[in-house]
Structure 1
Amino acid sequence: MRIITTTFTSILLLFLFNNSFAQLSPYDAAKAIGRGINMGNTLDAPKYEGEWAPKAEEYYFDAYKEAGFQSVRIPITWDVRVSKTAPYEVDPEFMDRVEQVVDWGLERDLIVIMNCHHDDWLKDDYSEANIARFEAIWTQISDRFHTKSDSLLFEALNEPHGLTIAQAADANQRALDIIRIKNPTRNVIIGGNGWTAIKDLLTMPIPKNDDHLIGYFHTYDPWDFSSAEVMKTWGTTSEKNYISGEFQKAKDWSIQNRIPVIISEFGAVHDTDYNSRMRHYAHYVEESLSRGISFMAWDDGGWYEIYQRGAKKWHETKDILIYNTNKTPTNLIVTMNPDSTVMMEWENRNTSDAKLRIERKLHDEFEIIDEIDPTSTSYNDVLVEPGDIYQYRISQIVDEKLIISYPQKVDLKQYVREPYGGTSITIPGILEAENFDKGGQNFTYYDNEAENQGGAYREEGVDIEERKDGGFHVGYLEVDEWMEYSVNVAKAGNYTFTTLVAAQEKGGKFQLSASKSNLKTSVDIPSTNSWENTTEVNADIYLEEGEQILRITILKTPAFNIDKLVFAEKVDIPTSLEDELSNVQALIYPNPFSSSFTLRFSEDTDHGKSIEIYNVVGNVVSVEQVKGAQATITLEQVPEGVYFVKYQSNGRDYVKKIIKK
């Protein structure tokens, strides 16, 4: 009887001991993962720890905790640490090492995930022998770690590329069957086949009769950007919307299957465009938070490094992962003004009355340089020096919590503005769209793609195509792209500018702004049913006299092409020819004309001896001599259309538009 009682008591105590820690539901566990990080390329190096990245140290976990991370994923590759024949014993020293590293995380109240990571021997050959070896590994993991707290989660298999959907599901089920023997309520993380992308999650067969599952997915979309396979920028509205749509698919799957989901890998390599990479991390964080999906950024101690293990320092991405939210300022743009000051612009997303703190980094750390009104959407930093590289971000205390926007960088070293061709464009005159100033991205132009998609004329990122009728135009235009031009305005006044544009569809719009007067004019684009055939669109703008910068900014699509802008003084309609001559240096009449027109100068005008007449593509169609104050110009040989007369008056060049009908 005593034996029976003792045996029963032992069984009861064993049952209670095995289940005393497993209290977290899958939803509680997924929520507890929160903002997490990977300790990659460490225990998952294929041959030995330290092969790919520095060995794990206990202080890493202090750093993770102090930074504000809530979870750590510890990828583990078992292959060379496990015998090749039955009973497939794991090297005891390696198992001790794994437990030591796992305990470092658990002792600091972090959620810890351990897995089978780069075990490609199974993924490349899903044979009976390899399946038995896989099962033996999970048997030993399950036995060794079954007494750990429920803050330890198991991940069955990382990225089973090479396995079919059925094989990946079979591997998940086999691992689960073994885990459940001694870990009946431990939360287990499972994913689809392939690279465990969101599309793989959606097709994953779900194990039945298991109430302690969490789904996972990885995404580095778009891969050509995040891997630096193609040097490009990232962050357009369409690019962000694509990522948002993918996250929504994962959330919908979670709701439909009543299984929480996490993203346990994402990131971008350091070789990508810095500003784009910051936007990329921030958007992933915001999409995760907005859908209640916990995240774990990939940190491999190398290309995707977040924590600098040797230096015990963090890269800027850490603050995005910890402090970025859906309430931080967004769409942050940092540019250099023509006067070498720095302009910040952004959008606000909360109604807090707390001051916005402008932070700047020149060397090691960000410093608060100013505090401004919370409704502000721009800031001009005048305390900068050409030749330095600055980073900017915006922080705020909202509901007693610190939130920080993603940073953006401006490199003053590369910003030396130079007019294309060496001299400023004269106004009145012709501004060719492709002749924007030299200087670089975010300074003299901004284009969403790093490459010239048109492949013509220049190597900068602005998309330029060669025209069939000669010359070039700027195309592939997208919202928020812009180009700047150094111009020299002959005198202050109102100017009419005629833009030659081509578009398959109407509805596009651009804005012309002038730095000296700070005035803006928008131009609506009609359809020409062609990318080549242009039409003229007229608008007016007031320009101050002298050197200044004109900027063309794309406001709306559908896309359109810009060939050139032709500027002419806007002249009020006079009551008589003498009245008109009193206001201008020269008079052209009749305009429109049929075969000839008269060019008349005022008596006190020192005019040039010849005039040039251009067609709308900038080709000279006639050069005429002027001997006195008046000349009649015959243009019978040219077809009907718009032309431009270039003449001199008192040492300055002027351009007037004429129309032949």
Structure 2
Amino acid sequence: MGNSLETPTEGAWGGKKIDAADFTRIAKAGFNTIRLPVRWSTRAGTDAPHTIDPIFMKRVKQVVADARSAGLNVILNSHHFEEIHKDPSDANIAKLAAMWTQVAAQFADAPEAHLWFEIENEPHDKFNDSNLLKVLTPALVEIRKTNPTRPVIIGGEFWSGINSLKTLNLPDDPNIVPTFHYYDPFNFTHQGASWVDPSPPLGRTYGGAEDQKLLKDDVQKVREYIARTGKTPFMGEFGAHTTASLDERVKYQKAVRVAFDEIGIGMCAWAYTNTFPLWDHEKKAWVPGMRDAMGLKE
């Protein structure tokens, strides 16, 4: 559910405000899970105990309830806590833990099979393997006080790209689920993206011999991770920006989904609507070809 609750205000960056009809539509299309990115950090107090705005908390709870009412599983995360990526200091680590203390308590009664937590999206910058467990463990400790066995998702450094699995260290906790995000080849998926500097040039197509080899090699990396750790990771994001042609986007979406489906990887696409859309909220229609690409009936 990108560009909704993780934006500075709900629906900014060209997104839309979520309503219950979205979840009815998503479930009817055949999806079973939504990932809900939430920017808690700008809605929490500056000083301890970093109290989250109760109106915003109520809004998130309503969105989760609407998704669950539609029969969807929910992955609830912390997204864009920008300060902790730039400065993984004790103060920011304490703020992350304080936010999760509140979030975990609010959702403690939700069925564990249908609501998972994700402590922080895409570690990057100064938040990396060298301090990953130091940053995340205090939040996990707080989560476990009220949610002792709920699945909790953790991703690695460098924006949780697939290569982060090779060096990802996880806490000693049987209910941790590793994750990775997949936007490779980046010069295809992010061509012309305004927020990337330098932005990859437009016109890159997908599916040549080099692309096929990369995808095969990347699937093998996940096979090796599963064999080495006994844990099956979750693909939290994948997709291609609308600056690629629709035909190329659909081709990419299907190739990636099929390849990782074959080894049993669950996945969420980025995103429901906006810059990597499956749903066109202006035309009020599923983007042609995208449901088929995701393995669903058109």
Give the TM-score normalised by the residue count of structure 1: 0.42
1:257 equivalenced with 2:229 (yes/no): yes
Once residues 247 and 103 of structure 1 are traced to their aligned partners in structure 2, the CA distance between those partners, rounded to angstroms, is 35
Where structure 2 has 5 or more consecutive residues not aligned to the other structure, the ranges are 192-199
| Conserved 8 A contact 2:105-2:146 | yes
Query: Which residue of 2 is the match for residue 570 of structure 1?
Result: none
Query: Which residue of 1 is the match for residue 151 of structure 2?
Result: 187
| Conserved 8 A contact 1:251-1:261 | no
1:207 equivalenced with 2:171 (yes/no): yes
| Conserved 8 A contact 2:170-2:176 | no
| Conserved 8 A contact 2:180-2:236 | yes
Once residues 322 and 102 of structure 1 are traced to their aligned partners in structure 2, the CA distance between those partners, rounded to angstroms, is 25
Moved over 4 A (4+): none
1:274 deviation in Å?
3.4
Once residues 279 and 241 of structure 1 are traced to their aligned partners in structure 2, the CA distance between those partners, rounded to angstroms, is 16
Any idea what the Cα deviations from partners look like across 1:51-93, whole Å, max 9, x if unmatched?
Answer: 2211111100001000000100000011220010111100000
Q: 1 or 2, which has the higher helix percentage?
A: 2
| Conserved 8 A contact 1:123-1:161 | yes
**How do 1:387-398 residues align onto structure 2 when only pairs under 5 Å count?**
none
Query: Which residue of 1 is the match for residue 12 of structure 2?
Result: 51
Query: Which residue of 2 is the match for residue 291 of structure 1?
Result: 263
The equivalent position to 2:79 in structure 1, one of 103, 117, 125, is 117
Q: Which stretch shifts more, 62-71 or 225-234?
A: 225-234
Secondary structure, aligned partner of 2:35:
strand
| Conserved 8 A contact 1:67-1:322 | no
Residue type of the alignment partner of 1:243: L
Which is higher, the Rg of structure 1 or of structure 2?
1
The equivalent position to 1:89 in structure 2, one of 45, 51, 76, is 51
Where structure 1 has 5 or more consecutive residues not aligned to the other structure, the ranges are 1-38, 324-401, 405-661
1:310 deviation in Å?
4.4
Once residues 249 and 193 of structure 1 are traced to their aligned partners in structure 2, the CA distance between those partners, rounded to angstroms, is 16
Once residues 322 and 97 of structure 1 are traced to their aligned partners in structure 2, the CA distance between those partners, rounded to angstroms, is 31
Residue type of the alignment partner of 1:244: K
1:43 deviation in Å?
0.3
Once residues 140 and 228 of structure 2 are traced to their aligned partners in structure 1, the CA distance between those partners, rounded to angstroms, is 22
Query: Which residue of 1 is the match for residue 197 of structure 2?
Result: none
1:243 equivalenced with 2:204 (yes/no): no
1:318 equivalenced with 2:291 (yes/no): yes
Any idea what the Cα deviations from partners look like across 1:248-306, whole Å, max 9, x if unmatched?
Answer: 21232123212221111111112213333222111101111111101111016322111
Secondary structure, aligned partner of 2:268:
strand
Once residues 162 and 249 of structure 2 are traced to their aligned partners in structure 1, the CA distance between those partners, rounded to angstroms, is 21
Any idea what the Cα deviations from partners look like across 1:518-549, whole Å, max 9, x if unmatched?
Answer: xxxxxxxxxxxxxxxxxxxxxxxxxxxxxxxx
**How do 1:587-626 residues align onto structure 2 when only pairs under 5 Å count?**
none
1:129 equivalenced with 2:91 (yes/no): yes
1:225 deviation in Å?
0.9
Once residues 12 and 128 of structure 2 are traced to their aligned partners in structure 1, the CA distance between those partners, rounded to angstroms, is 30
Once residues 138 and 89 of structure 2 are traced to their aligned partners in structure 1, the CA distance between those partners, rounded to angstroms, is 14
Residue type of the alignment partner of 1:189: I
Residue type of the alignment partner of 2:186: W
Residue type of the alignment partner of 2:159: W
Query: Which residue of 1 is the match for residue 116 of structure 2?
Result: 153
1:194 deviation in Å?
1.7
Once residues 284 and 20 of structure 2 are traced to their aligned partners in structure 1, the CA distance between those partners, rounded to angstroms, is 12
CA RMSD of aligned residues (A): 1.5
The equivalent position to 2:162 in structure 1, one of 189, 193, 198, is 198
The equivalent position to 1:78 in structure 2, one of 22, 40, 62, is 40
Any idea what the Cα deviations from partners look like across 1:94-116, whole Å, max 9, x if unmatched?
Answer: 00001100111112221100101
| Conserved 8 A contact 2:128-2:156 | no
| Conserved 8 A contact 2:272-2:279 | no
Once residues 111 and 284 of structure 2 are traced to their aligned partners in structure 1, the CA distance between those partners, rounded to angstroms, is 29
| Conserved 8 A contact 1:68-1:322 | no
Query: Which residue of 2 is the match for residue 168 of structure 1?
Result: 132
| Conserved 8 A contact 1:301-1:307 | yes
Query: Which residue of 2 is the match for residue 367 of structure 1?
Result: none
The equivalent position to 2:180 in structure 1, one of 211, 217, 226, is 217
Identity of aligned residues (%): 32
| Conserved 8 A contact 2:75-2:118 | yes
Secondary structure, aligned partner of 1:181:
helix
Q: 1 or 2, which has the higher strand percentage?
A: 1
- Structure 2 CA distance for partners of 1:298 and 1:238, relative to 1, 3 Å: same
1:99 equivalenced with 2:61 (yes/no): yes
The equivalent position to 1:140 in structure 2, one of 96, 102, 107, is 102
The equivalent position to 1:61 in structure 2, one of 23, 44, 55, is 23
1:173 deviation in Å?
2.0
Q: Which stretch shifts more, 135-144 or 197-206?
A: 197-206
1:108 equivalenced with 2:80 (yes/no): no
